[in-house]
Structure 1
Amino acid sequence: MTTATRASQRMIIRDVRVFDGVNDRTQDNADVLIEGSHVIAVSTSPIAGDASDGVVEIAGKGRFLMPGLSDAHVHLMGNANSMLDFVQGPTGTLYGNTIAEAKRMLLRGFTTVRDMGGDTAPVKALIDRGTFEGPRIFPSQAMISQTSGHADFAFVYDIPEEFGGKPSRTEDIHFTRVADGVPRVLAAVREQLRMGATQIKLTLGGGAASMYDPLNTLQYTPDEIAAAVQAATDYGTYVATHVYTPAGIARALDAGVRSIEHGHLADEATVRRIADAQAWLSMQPFAEDDHHYPDPVRAGKNTEICRGTAQVYEWAKKYGVKTAWGTDLLLEPQSAPRQSAMAARLRDFYSNAEALRMLTSGNAELFEMAGERNSYRGGKLGVIAEGAWADMILVEGDPLTDLSLIGDPENAFKLIVKGGQVVKNTL
């Protein structure tokens, strides 16, 4: 049973084992004091206060308290709607489904997400205002693509805008933006920033979900990528790029891209170069059945991508690459709950402590590269510490010894708090 309460003036979560999002070991027998939307204190000495002082007390009884989870590569609108919804569904239904999925995502314990394609700035505003429940959102707005690129969702017979054609349906709803040539790329980047993007998403290579582009294609010229990077930098933020291959990653890094999304087909030299550039590798621990492609071409691309996962993770650890975690589930609403299982799957590649850090403070470090575009600068994300946003989960069991617990949020997550507001309490 889920309950929602207004953020209390003061709340104390008593007698918990605190994983702060940074250190491997927990702080045991601790009390956590929340005032309004922030953590005020974490103490192993009892914190004064009770109901007579207007304090809400929650008895942790030795349970595991951790920061809220984060996902560095979601498509909230894409998670919530199918391709048929995008092509034929009313626009209002698309947004309604997105808002409903945002709440489900929060109840899976994800208190912050970085959205990598979709018109989520309005949804973010409604959530931040308290109109609807959902995670904090770092929106990229529309994915920017060249004609025939990964985010070109036009039909094959549609005339490109460059030749007088009309924008595709996904452009009309700000899910994608096709832009060719430096002037149009600049305009596309600036359009997303005007609409509330906290970072920019470019597609620089082929993908499994797209119809026209083999994985080995190079998309956007160096000049076009550099123009996008300059426009984002001028706004105090950065560019993240969908790209899998060594050649595509090299072109991105040459242009100053700060976050490589995916990278599953990288070779060892390329992974080392990501480390040398101090760029981020935003990876997803894909399994073949995370996505379902009915045609053999896209299914084959999906298989090739998945085969590269384990090796790239190994090289990333070897060279100390700053690695974030995400899901990239898209256009299959029935698969959205896999988000939790994919988080738990990090145990196949990292220690449980490393995985939990990546899911909390690690991802948050990437999010904060948005600088002044980050509207959540009033507190620290991804940690339980004095001055941090009061986003946290009380877990039945110990994820440091059994990471599979985070794959079962319905049963394992007894309490979810976001911004000092209890959004789930089954204690």
Structure 2
Amino acid sequence: MFSRKPGDKEGANHPFACFCQKSEIEFLNNRISAGLTRRGFVTGMAASALMLILPKLASAQTAPPPANPTHPILFTNFRLFDGKSATLREGLFLLVDGNRIRTLTQSKPAVPDGTQVIDCGGRVVMPGLIDMHWHTIIAALPLPVVLTADIAYVHLAASAEAERTLMRGFTTVRDAGGPAFALKQAIDEGLISGPRIYPSGAMITTTGGHGDFRSLTDLPRSGARISSSEQTGGSIVADSADEVRLRVREQFLQGASQIKLVGSGGVSTPRSPLDMLTFTEPQLRAAVETAADWGTYVMVHAYVSHAVQRAIAAGAQCIEHAHLMDDATASLMAKNGTWLSIQPFVSEEDTVPLSGPSREKMLAVFAGTNNAYTLAKKHGIKTAFGSDLLFSAALATRQGTMLTHLLRWYSAAEALKMATGANGQLLELSGPRNPYPGKLGVIEEGAFADLLLVDGNPVENLALVADPARNLLVIMKDGKIYKNTLNA
């Protein structure tokens, strides 16, 4: 399917992919290292996959998406966190007309007959949350299922998880690698419920780089033969500047809003050390230049300083992870205005048990998390929030919990601003490739009407977002109400 690996693509990209059971990931690593063919590997994993059937995994969404509103919606009696200021505002009226915020004023606007009025009871209205590192297709499926199931089942399961993602208050996600184009289209057309998706397409790597999970018997690479992961759009190998340009253009042909490249090793790729480098600087530059030709940008997976520095030298505008960067690298990022999209992994509750080299790499990343955030604050790096949770329906529910981890370095207001307004600014780098041109992550006139009504004050108690079923009373995306329990 996507690949035969203990962390599939970018989820492979780090230790934080869920592999469900330690014994399964140990078996997986051993079989990969032995260099089995894909056919033999999948056969060997089939029994495990049967034992890992997801309990009550929804094969369809629980309810049809709401229809386009026929009348404006007026919110009254609320306090506002607008995604920009740490201070709540009161005494406002917010009018949603269509999919935009039309009016935000202290005086009640004139509204047409039939306008729906929502009295918020003094609660807090805030922008919908944004996750800048999410994998929409494989967030909730165990890896053995991903490897052995029919691709149609994988996409059906992704549809069910998309609805759950939206119900957690994440109205927008940036997909950090995977075949999310069809899912995005179905959501945009109102066929299913889910967040806005900024798709990257297949994660582009090199031979031997993170995301190259071919067995040794598949080597040497020759002719037009491609791996199953390349066939399904999980990841793809490029070993020259010309190949890089080709693979980048292929993702844009399918509708990518930005490009994901691998610049260093990954935790969950068994034969990919964290300190190894993949693309040369000219090869990285080929991707950056091609993306610029399309009016957008490249995000580069890189953990260690020399990988981050090479990506910056090539012109990359966003670095994913960078948990092991040093002070000089952080200073360089700040000087160049490079975005840091980093994930606050702080304990093994957010991870899957790993063994061998993958576990050693996982621990190294954990050990670097505090230093990376400390350096980001010290140098004033533009920092984005993402969760990067993979291969587990249970871990996927911790999306909001991951946001609360930021309290180790930031105030609740700073964390909320990062997951709303700041993330919205990063999304704007996609320029003309932006699938949703308009303001996201903020509540202001003219912005998209993506908002949450929180039962409590998240600026004082960020833990409220970790229990969305209880604390998010209204969830609106694109002017449509997907949840309203005010009268329950």
Whether 2:42 is the aligned partner of 1:7: answer no
Indicate how the Cα distance of structure 1 residues 172 and 82 shifts in structure 2: closer, same or farther if over 3 A, else same.
Answer: farther
- 2:139 is equivalent to residue 79 of structure 1: yes
Distance in 2 separating the partners of 1:150 and 1:183: 20
TM-superposed deviation, 1:303: 1.1
Partner of 2:319: 260
Q: CA deviation at 1:157?
A: 2.4
Tell me the distance in 1 between the aligned counterparts of 2:414 and 2:228.
41
- Cα deviation code 1:224-265 (max 9, x no counterpart): 111111111111011100001011011101100110000000
Deviation at 1:27, TM superposition (A): 1.3
What is the DSSP-based 3-state SS (H/G/I as helix, E as strand, rest coil) of the residue aligned with 1:77?
coil
Aligned mates of 1:255, 1:193 — CA distance in 2:
20
* Residue 200 (structure 1) aligned with residue 262 (structure 2): no
- 1:92–1:178 CA distance, 2 compared to 1 (3 A): same
- Amino acid of the residue matched to residue 127 of structure 2? P
> Aligned runs of 1:251-400 on 2, under 5 Å?
251-289=310-348, 290-377=350-437, 379-400=438-459
Superposition deviation, residue 278 in structure 1 = 0.6
Contact 1:160 1:166 in 2 (8 A): no
Q: Secondary structure at the residue paired with 1:230?
A: helix
SS at match of 1:229: helix
What residue number does 2:84 align with? 22
| Structure 2 counterparts to residues 20-419 of structure 1, below 5 A | 20-49=82-111, 53-161=113-221, 163-164=222-223, 166-289=225-348, 290-377=350-437, 379-419=438-478
Q: CA deviation at 1:7?
A: 3.2
TM-score (ref. length: structure 1): 0.96
SS of residue in 2 equivalent to 1:29: coil
Taking only aligned residues, the RMSD between alpha carbons, in angstroms, comes to 1.5
3-state SS of the aligned residue for 1:23? coil
**Unmatched 5+ stretches in structure 2:** 1-61
**Preserved contact between residue 87 and residue 170 of structure 1 (Cα < 8 Å):** no
Alpha-carbon distance in structure 1 between the residues aligned to 2:77 and 2:115: 16
For 1:118, give the aligned amino acid.
G
What letter matches 2:218 in structure 1? D
> How far off its partner does 1:5 sit?
3.5
1:303-354 CA distance string (max 9 Å, x none): 1101111111111111110000101112333311111110121112101111
Could you tell me which amino acid in structure 1 is paired with residue 187 of structure 2? I
Q: Secondary structure at the match of 2:217?
A: coil
Unaligned runs of 5+ in 1: none
Counterpart code for 2:344: P
Q: Percent identity?
A: 40
Relative to structure 1, the CA distance from residue 164 to residue 18 in structure 2 (aligned partners, 3 Å threshold; closer, same or farther) is same
SS, match of residue 435 in structure 2: coil
Alpha-carbon distance in structure 2 between the residues aligned to 1:363 and 1:401: 21
Q: Which amino acid aligns with 1:111?
A: T
TM-score (norm 2): 0.84
Q: Deviations over 1:383-408 (max 9, x none)?
A: 11100000000000001111111111
Q: 1:131 to 1:160 in 2, by over 3 A?
A: farther
